[in-house]
Every structure is written in structure tokens, then in C-alpha cells.
Amino acid sequence: MHNILTLSARELAARVSRRELTAEAVTRAYIEQIQACEPSVKAWQFFDADMALQSARALDRHSHSSNALLRGVPVGVKDLMDTVDMPTSYGSPIYAQHLPRFDAACVAACRDAGMVVLGKTVTTEFATFNPGVTCNPRAPADAPRTPGGSSSGSAAAVAANMVPLALGTQTAGSIVRPASYCGVIGYKPTHGTLPLAGVKPLAPSLDTIGAFARSVDDAAFFVGALTRVNLDPQRQSALRVGICRTAHWDLASDDARCVLEHSARQLEKAGAHVHDLVLPASCDALTQAQIQIMAYEAAAAFAPERQREAGKFSLAFSQLLALGESLNGADFAAAQLLVIAARQALDAVFESIDVLLAPSAEGEAPAGLGATGNPIFNRFWTLLGNPCVHVPAGTGVHGMPVGVTVIGPRWADSLTLRAAHTLELSLR
């Protein structure tokens, strides 16, 4: 049973499709792992072993479809995404025991692909900054560290091997940063790759659905199956890589700096052409633009809850909405125009390179569970909508994971994943 946990998602799907494994056997193996790890990690907002087994048995009874590329593969779903058969609370007491009438589109796609939805993973409040209960499984129990946010449970569940794949969302740094802190692959596709229908909106021009996995190949296989796009990340030689330390390099720890340099050198050994790159001046104000756009859109999105249930907001969420309410339409338009100019400038940069390599976070996961860490190295990539893949690349002074982000041109997700896969292989 435990050998199942060592198989990639691609191999699990292949073996279930060939009837060498049953979906029930795979699900049982992961249920056992959840039952062993969940008391200390607390990654799951909702988990029902019997429900998961019923889903797996139904898959085993039905004839195999050629479209079910992920048949029998368990998945964790961030509790920001509607599920028709499980409560969806969006990380807020306002929606305690809320039961949606339909699945989110991305969840429906998972079921269409033959996946077993194991349960709902913990999210921070409305995917913002007020942390949940999840602990980082890479940290000692007597010295807890944040798993990051807002996709806390999804990152921690994959890191603890409680599920091979999990869905997350990113509006600022909510996929890349938890992936960095927990030491797993985090893939934020080009904005709009996966549909947002049925996902609680925070800032629709920024909100992006993505994936957590144990390997780049699994992340590519997962999202590729859901979108009907071939994202096969086979190794590519002679990549042109720009090292982008960003305008926030002074906030990078020694650990983050060392890991970035080491990753660059390993890519060179793998045949890549690597050189330093400074972003165009039009990108300098992007972090503040992302903060303004996120706050402005959140204030609009949560006007109904603010009018009726504002007393149940955390202080952090109330402050975010207050910032948004202090901005006007002209501020929002100015920020969006800045984004348009920055995208054009970055598109020009990608004419001479294939991908960028940048820090994923300031360094190791911060100690304690009172905050989710700083998304400073993620905000502008999310704002611009570029595909990002976090790759674990080493450990810091406290033995916690540290990694880097591979960033590619918009809609060049396959290229970005191939570069990330090359880096992943070079680090082994």
C-alpha cells in the first residue's frame, strides 16, 4: 500500500487505466497517510474518508473513458472553490457549512478527468492574509513555521504526501510562496488558463488557479489534462535564462541569494545560456500597482458581505477592504495602464531570452503561525499574468526549504515548464 505513495501522478493514472491498480486502492493509501499526518499538519478543512472511498469505487465500476487522463488520482481542493458535495467556507465564519449548488469549473474538470476529490484544504480568510490552522510539515512540531498563504492546506498536504496533487489560487503570492516554504512544486499558469467560475472572487484581474505537485512533470500533466493542452515538460537544451534579482533584492536573505546563484550555475551546467538581467524601469512601480488593484477589486467584490457581515471580518481583511475603499476609479485605471505598459516592456525582454529566474520568497518560512510571510517577490509576476513555476532548490540555515521561480512569457506555459523541469533535473 505504501508503495503507491511513491508513484507519480502520471504513473498512478496509467496504472489505474491499465487496471493494474484500482482507484480504491490508491485512495485508501492516501487516506492512511492523511490519518497519520493530519493531527499535526491540519491541512484539511473538510475530509471524509468514506465519501472519498465511495467516489473511488464509483470510478472503478464505470467503464474507462479515454478522456479520463487522471483516472484514480487523488486531488486536494482549496476551500475557496465550490464543491457540490462538500462544505465550502472560503476560510471565513460567514460561510460556515455553506453548501454550493454546483462545483467550481476547475473541480468539475477534475472529476471529468477521473480524479478522486479527497477533500477541501485550508485557505486563509478569503485567500488573503489572516492565517488558518495549518502547520508547515517541514518544520519540527516543537518549533512550528508557517506553510505560507493563502493556499496553506494545499501546499502542506502535498508536502506531507497526503495527496499527490492539489489545486490552489494566487492573487499575490498564494501558490509560489507556500510552495517555497513547504518545499514542493508550485505552478501558477498564465492568468486565465483555468476558469474562475465557482471560485470566490478576490480580485478577478489577478486571481489565478494553479497547482501544487511533487514534480514539475506532475504539475504539467495535471494542468495539461484539465485544459486539454499538451504541457509535456521534456528537457530542452540551450535555454536562454535571465537572472532577475528584482527591485526587492535587498529583502532577499543570504539563503535566497545563495539558492538563486546555485540554480543559475546548475542551469549553465545543463547547457543554458545564463546572464544577469535588470527589468525595465516601467516595472519599478508594479508592486504598489498590484496592491492597489487587489484592494480596489476586493472592496468591490466583498461589498455584499461588508454590508451585512462586516463584524465577522478579521482586522487584516477589514484593513484590505478599507484600502480599496480609499481608492477611486481613476486610481484603478492608472494602475491598469501601468500594467499595460509594463507587459509591453516585458514582452520585449522575452524577445532575447526564454525565461527569467527570480527569488520565490525572502528566504525560509518564518517561525510561528501568526502570519503567512511576505509576497513581495510574487506580486508583480501575478499582476503581469506571466506563468510561474516554483522549484525547490535547497535549504536554508534552519534546514527549511528555499527555492526559485521560473517565469516565462504569457501563454508560453509549456516553455516555462520545460525550463523548470530542466532546472529540477539539474539540481538532483
CATH number at residue 384: 3.40.190
413/355 same-domain check: yes
> Are 233 and 421 a contacting pair, CB within 8 Å?
yes
- Answer yes or no: is 290 within a domain: no
44-47, strands of its sheet edge to edge: 44-47, 116-121, 74-78, 165-170, 208-213, 185-188, 388-395, 401-407, 355-359, 240-243, 273-276
117/80 same-domain check: yes
- For the CA atoms of 124, 128, 129, 134, the dihedral, rounded to the nearest 10 degrees, stands at 20
Domain span including residue 22: 2-227
- Answer yes or no: is 330 within a domain: no
Burial class of residue 268 in the structure, from the number of CB atoms within 10 Å of its CB (0-12 exposed, 13-18 middle, 19+ buried): middle
- Answer yes or no: is 310 within a domain: no
Catalytic residues: 78, 150, 174
CATH number at residue 149: 3.90.1300.10
29/85 same-domain check: yes
80/146 same-domain check: yes
344/385 same-domain check: yes
209/272 same-domain check: no
The Cα 252–Cα 261 span in angstroms is: 12
pLDDT digits (tens, 9 = 90+) for 282-333: 888 999 999 999 999 999 999 999 999 999 999 999 999 999 999 999 999 9
180/204 same-domain check: yes
User: Within 13 A of 309's CA, how many CA atoms are on the CB side?
Assistant: 12
164/268 same-domain check: no
Closest CA to 295 of 266, 276, 322, 331: 322
- Answer yes or no: is 295 within a domain: no
Closest CA to 216 of 10, 2, 6: 10
**What backbone torsions phi and psi does residue 348 show, to the nearest 5 degrees?**
-65, -35
> pLDDT 10s per residue in the chain (428 long)?
569 999 999 999 999 999 999 999 999 999 999 999 999 999 999 999 999 999 999 999 987 776 799 999 999 999 999 999 999 999 999 999 899 999 999 999 999 999 999 999 999 999 999 999 999 999 999 999 999 999 999 999 999 999 999 999 999 999 999 999 999 999 999 999 999 999 999 999 999 999 999 999 999 999 999 999 989 887 666 899 999 999 999 999 999 999 999 999 999 999 999 999 999 888 889 999 999 999 999 999 999 999 999 999 999 999 999 999 999 999 999 999 999 999 999 999 999 999 999 999 999 999 999 999 999 999 999 999 999 999 999 999 999 999 999 999 999 999 999 999 999 999 99
Q: Provide the number of structural domains found in the chain.
A: 2
